[in-house]
Amino acid sequence: MNIKERIKQLDEQYKDLPRKIFLVLAVLISSFFLAKAVPYVLPFIIGYIFSLILIYPSRLFSRLLSKIKPGKKLAVVLSMLLLYGLLGFLISLLAKQIYVELEKLVNALPGIVEWVEQTLEQWTLRLHPENGEGMHNMFSGWLDTALETLSGSIKTLLGKAAPAVATGAIDTISGLPGAILFIVVIIMSSYYFVCDRKIIRSYLEKLLPEGIIHRVDVLTDSVLKAVGQQIRAQVLVSLCVTIVLILGFFILGMDYALLLGTIIGLIDLLPIVGAGTVLIPWALFNLFANNIMLGAKLLLLYVAVVAIRQVVEPRIVGSKLGLYPLVAMLSMYIGMRAIGFIGLIVGPVLANICKVILESDADIRKQQRELAGKA
């Protein structure tokens, strides 16, 4: 019995478990090598992502400029000017506003901490009159340490950001040529990906064997498309939540509406966690601190976020992939332990890729067995 027959026998004996383990290991190993390769091709990846956005406006401009000879290329250039100009304007506007709000937050932190200390002192005296002062001193020590750390971090961030915001330049002269080249490659690659996508496809079909092209197409349809749709859907849902949060904080009259809405929106992007991780404790603390109006408003804002998510998510996501919550939590934890904070996002994505590949493989095996049975 050769190795191929032995593996086939093991698959049949253990219900395809060896094959499933091999596929999962193949995904993890491939992801590891891809992660190592990403820094070398990152501007091309970003350029390709932008090209997917540029396709739609370039088609519109192409129809409008159909009578002009270089209409297609001109349409792509106009689309790029529109996209990158709008993107640059929004980034500069957001960066300026966040910088202003960070400065306000640094100045307001001592007053916020003092209010929290007074609230905790009242609680401890009510709950433990005999030992309230000792517990208050302990809480005060923790808050002072946290304040110093947070304030120092924000001031360091502002100190680093100030030259960049003021001069629009990168801190180190040595990094400037690399940064310029990075941006130029993104812009130029996005242009060629849009303008010559059919030529690139045709060249790859001639260069690579037909079997590899077919496998890439299958992989794109079954895995990248499915996972990409889920990531896109989650980003769009979280963007809607972020806009609702920013508007809600603005209506509440908070000085840090954009900053708070952006931070909580990024937290909401993480699987399982959600905006309630911040809003609910914040609201409850204010309610217990007799700040009833703010606490109630924060709870109403959380209800609005949940309602928006319930309305928007089914329309955007549709028949999304999704993971069982326990699997999502496990993949987040393993991802965080393996590669740090970014693993909170990468872990569930890899888990979803494994899920899609295993399901696709199971369908293929089922079809093969049905054909073998008929034969």
Tell me the average pLDDT across 91-107.
82
Tell me the average pLDDT across 212-222.
66
Q: What is the pLDDT of residue 178?
A: 76
d(Cα 58, Cα 79) in Å, to the nearest integer? 6
pLDDT tens-digit readout, 30-42: 888 888 888 888 8
d(Cα 201, Cα 50) in Å, to the nearest integer? 18
Phi-psi category of residue 68: left, alpha or beta, with phi > 0 → left and psi -120 to 50 → alpha: beta
Please state which of the ranges 6-10, 135-139, 326-330, 344-348 shows the lowest mean pLDDT. Answer: 135-139
Q: What is the pLDDT of residue 135?
A: 52
pLDDT at 272 over 70: no
Q: Which residue ranges make up each domain of the chain?
A: 224-319
Q: What is the pLDDT of residue 169?
A: 43
Tell me the average pLDDT across 224-231.
65
Tell me the average pLDDT across 279-289.
84
pLDDT at 118 over 60: yes
d(Cα 349, Cα 337) in Å, to the nearest integer? 15
For a pLDDT cut of 70, what percent of the chain falls above it?
A: 68
Tell me the average pLDDT across 199-227.
70
* Mean pLDDT (the chain, rounded): 75
Tell me the average pLDDT across 173-184.
74
pLDDT at 349 over 70: yes
For a pLDDT cut of 90, what percent of the chain falls above it?
A: 1
pLDDT at 167 over 50: no
Q: Return the higher-pLDDT residue of 273 and 100.
A: 100
